[in-house]
Structure 1
Amino acid sequence: MKLPTFKLEEYFSRTEFKAPYLMCCSDAESFSLQEILALADDETRSIWETLRLGYTQVQGSPLLRSEIAHLYPGLQADNILCCAGAEEGIFCTFFSLLNKESHAIVVTPCYQSLHTLALSFAGSVTTIALDEAHGWKLDLDRVKDAIRPNTRLIIINFPNNPTGALLNENEVKDLIDIASSHDMYIFSDEAYRLLGSSCLTWDVPLACLYPKVISLSVMSKAFGMAGLRIGWIATQNKELLKSIEFTKYYTTICNSGLSEVVSLIALRAKDIVLKRNCEIIDHNLSLLDSFFSRNHTLFSWVRPAGGCVGLVNSHIATPIDIFAQELVDNTGVLIIPGSVFDIEGNTFRIGFGRKNFPEVLEKFETYVSRYLNNSCQS
C-alpha cells in the first residue's frame, strides 16, 4: 500500500515552525505543563509524583478511560480505547472495518486521512461535499443515493475541519436512521467537540446514540494539548473495539504514561480548561465579525458553528496559493490555501483558537491594505 502525499502535514512541515504568526492553527491555545499540574487533585498529583516510566496498558490507563467515559453518557471505561492522537484511531479503525469488497462514504471537506485511508482500505469510496451555499449543510438525500449493497461505513467530521459546520439534532437522528436501516457503521470524527462559542450547547455524542457509531476524539483540539498525543475511540461495540485494539498492537502498542497522567488531570479539570479556550474563541470571533464587515468586498465566509477553524473565500484576484506564499514571505503570517484540502476556488483556512490571534489578524489586515494599494499603483 503506497500512500499519497499528506498535503496538510507536508505543508505544515515546511512552514509551521518557521512562520512566527500562525493564522491557520487547528487547535486551541495550549497550556504549560506547570499550569496543568497545578490543576491536579490529590490522587492525580500522587500518581504523577510516583509515576514509573514503564509500559502502559494497551487500552489506556483505566482511570483515564473512566474519565473519558464521563464525556459519553451511558458508556463505561471498557467502551473506550486510547490511541496516539487522532491519527492512530483513524488508521486502526479503518484497517479493522474496511476491505477491498467494501464501499465507504466520506463527507468532505475533511482532514485528509479520513478520505485517503478510506481509499486505501476500501474497494471504493464516494465523497459527499458539504454545501457552502446552504451554510455547509450535509445533504442527506445525497448520502442515501450513494449507498450501495456493500456500503459498510459513513465517515463524518463535525464540528467540521475546515469549515466549522455542525449537524443539528434532527440531522444526526436522520443520519443514524439511514445507517441503521442499512446496518452500516458511522465513523464520527469529533475532535472539535466541546470547542466553540461559550453559548454553544452540545448534543449527546453519536457513540451514545447508535451501537455502530465509532466516535473519535483527542486532547489536541478542544483541550489545546496536541503535544500529549492522546486520543481515543468511543463505541458501544466492544467486539469492534477489540478488533481495533488488535490493530494497535502493530502501531504504537501503548501510549506514554506521562501523557496519560497529564490528560487525566486535564480531563478532571475540563470545565476550567474548556471555559478558558471557549472564551478565547468568543473574543476572536467578535474580531472576525468586525473584520469581515470592514472587508466584505475582499473576504467572506460562512461563520463557523463550532470548533476553532473556518474556511474563508478570497475575492482578491491573486490566486490564493500565490497570495499565501507572498503573505508569509513578507509578514510571517501563515494561512492554509484551500488547495491543501482539495477545495477549488480562492479559499483558505484560518484558525482562531489562539491568544495571539488579535495580533496576527491585525498584521494580516495591514498587509492586505498595503497589498491592494501597491496593486492599484502598479
Structure 2
Amino acid sequence: MCPSSGGIWGLYALTIRLKKANEILLQKPRARIGLYGSYASALSLNELQKLAPSTNTTLLDPDLALTYGITLGSVRLRERIAELHSSPEVELTAANVVITPGSSMANHLVLATLCGPGDHIISLAQKNNIVVFSDEAFSPLFHTKDQAPPLVSLGSPRTLSTGSLSKAYALPDIRIGWVVSQDKEIIHRVSALRDYTTISVSLLDDSVAAFALSKEVLPQLMERNLRLCAESITLLDEFVKRNAQRCRWTKPKGSGVAFVQILNKDRSASDDLVFSKKLAEEAGITVIPGSYSFAEEGANDLKGYLRIEIGSPERLREALVAIEEFVHKYDFF
C-alpha cells in the first residue's frame, strides 16, 4: 500500500514509472542517526505557537470546518506570501500567488505550464520572450550578510518563484508550496493545470502556514532556524579542522545542508558511495553520497563529498563523534 495526499495524488502517481536505469536503495537496518535531511530541525505545533509574541495570536481555530479549502489557497496566506516576495519596485498581491501541496508540486506545475514535450533550455532561450524560473525552497535560510531577494521582486515581469514551508521554515509536514509571478497570464495557466492535480490544500496546513509566515511569528521562526544552522556550521568547521588530513569543505552560505569531502589517507578523494554504505552498516549513521546522488554522469566534481544536514546540531554533534572515529578506522574508501 502507498498512501497519498488525497485520492487525486494517488491517481497522479500512476502516471509515474521508474526508468530501467533507476536503482532503489533500501537501508537495513534503520539508521541510528540520520543526517540526510536538508531543513532546520522541525517544530511541533506547541513550539510554533510559542513563537508568537502575544497569546492573542492563535495557531489554529478549533472550530475550523475540515472541508475543501479555497482552490488557490486562502487569501490570508496568499497575501502574506505576495508581501514576502514584493519589493519597493514590485508590489505583488494575492492574485499573483497560487498555493500548492509543497514545492515539488509547485515546480511541476511551472515546468508543465512552460515546457512542452521536447522543450530544451537552448530552444527556450532563443525565443525573445524568455521566462526565468527560480526554485527558492531554501530562501531565506542564508548564513551570510549577502542575501538573494526573491527573483520576482527584481522587476522583470516574466519571472516565477516557487517555495514551500519544508526547508527554510522547518515545517516539512505542512504540505504547502507556492508559485509566485507578476505575470497573471502564467498564474492563470498554472491554476488551470493545478485543477488536474489537486482540489485544494488542507485547511489545517493553510492555517499553520499563514500563522508561521505572519509578521508576528516569522522573525522568531527564522532566528531559531538560523541559530540552529549556525551552531551546526561551527561544529562541522571544528570537525574539519581537527581532521584536516582526511577531509575538507567550503562553509555553506545558505540552505540546510553542508558538503564535506572525505579524503583517503593519501589525500585522494574517497568513494563517497562506499563510505556512506559502510558508515550506515557499521555506525548506524546515514548521510547522502555526493557524487552518486548529484554529479552529472561521468563527472568527478563531487567525488568524495557527503551531504550532511545542518538543521539539528544536537544530532550532528553525536554523529560527528562516530564519523570521526570511522574516518580514521580505514586508510581508503
Q: Which bracket does the TM-score occupy, shorter chain normalised?
A: 0.7 to 0.9
Q: Give 1:21's aligned amino acid.
A: I
Change beyond 3 A, Cα 1:42–1:23: closer
Give 1:80 shift.
Answer: 1.0
Task: Give the match for residue 294 of structure 2.
Answer: 341
Matched, 1:370 2:329: yes
5 Å-filtered alignment, 1:255-334, equals 255-268=201-214, 269-316=217-264, 319-334=271-286
Alpha-carbon distance between aligned partners in 2 of 1:17 and 1:283, rounded to the nearest angstrom: 29
Q: Are the counterparts in 2 of residues 44 and 264 from structure 1 also a CA contact under 8 Å?
A: no
- Per-residue CA distance 1:266-301 (angstroms, 9 max, x = gap): 111111111011011111111111212222222222
- Per-residue CA distance 1:45-81 (angstroms, 9 max, x = gap): 2852221100011211110111112211221111111
Alpha-carbon distance between aligned partners in 1 of 2:28 and 2:190, rounded to the nearest angstrom: 32
Q: Which has the higher strand share?
A: 1
| RMSD over equivalenced CA pairs, Å | 2.8
Instruction: Choose 84-93 or 34-43, whichever is displaced more.
Output: 34-43
5 Å-filtered alignment, 1:242-253, equals 242-253=188-199
Alpha-carbon distance between aligned partners in 1 of 2:105 and 2:132, rounded to the nearest angstrom: 17
Alpha-carbon distance between aligned partners in 1 of 2:70 and 2:136, rounded to the nearest angstrom: 24
Residue ranges of structure 2 left out of the alignment (5+ in a row):
1-14
Task: Give the match for residue 113 of structure 2.
Answer: 96
Q: Are the counterparts in 2 of residues 7 and 341 from structure 1 also a CA contact under 8 Å?
A: no
Task: Give the match for residue 151 of structure 1.
Answer: 124
Alpha-carbon distance between aligned partners in 1 of 2:32 and 2:116, rounded to the nearest angstrom: 43
1:228 to 161, 174, 186: 174
1:84 to 101, 122, 125: 101
SS in 2 for 1:324: helix
Residue ranges of structure 1 left out of the alignment (5+ in a row):
105-146, 153-178
Q: Which has the higher helix share?
A: 1
Query: Normalised by the size of structure 2, how large is the TM-score?
Result: 0.81
SS in 2 for 1:297: coil
Q: Give 2:114's aligned amino acid.
A: L
Alpha-carbon distance between aligned partners in 2 of 1:234 and 1:57, rounded to the nearest angstrom: 17
Task: Give the match for residue 28 of structure 1.
Answer: 40
Pairs aligned (count): 300
Task: Give the match for residue 136 of structure 2.
Answer: 190
Alpha-carbon distance between aligned partners in 2 of 1:99 and 1:19, rounded to the nearest angstrom: 41
Change beyond 3 A, Cα 1:207–1:288: same
Give 1:208 shift.
Answer: 1.3
SS in 1 for 2:179: strand
Q: Give 1:207's aligned amino acid.
A: V
Alpha-carbon distance between aligned partners in 2 of 1:46 and 1:283, rounded to the nearest angstrom: 28
Alpha-carbon distance between aligned partners in 2 of 1:195 and 1:216, rounded to the nearest angstrom: 15
Q: Give 2:329's aligned amino acid.
A: R
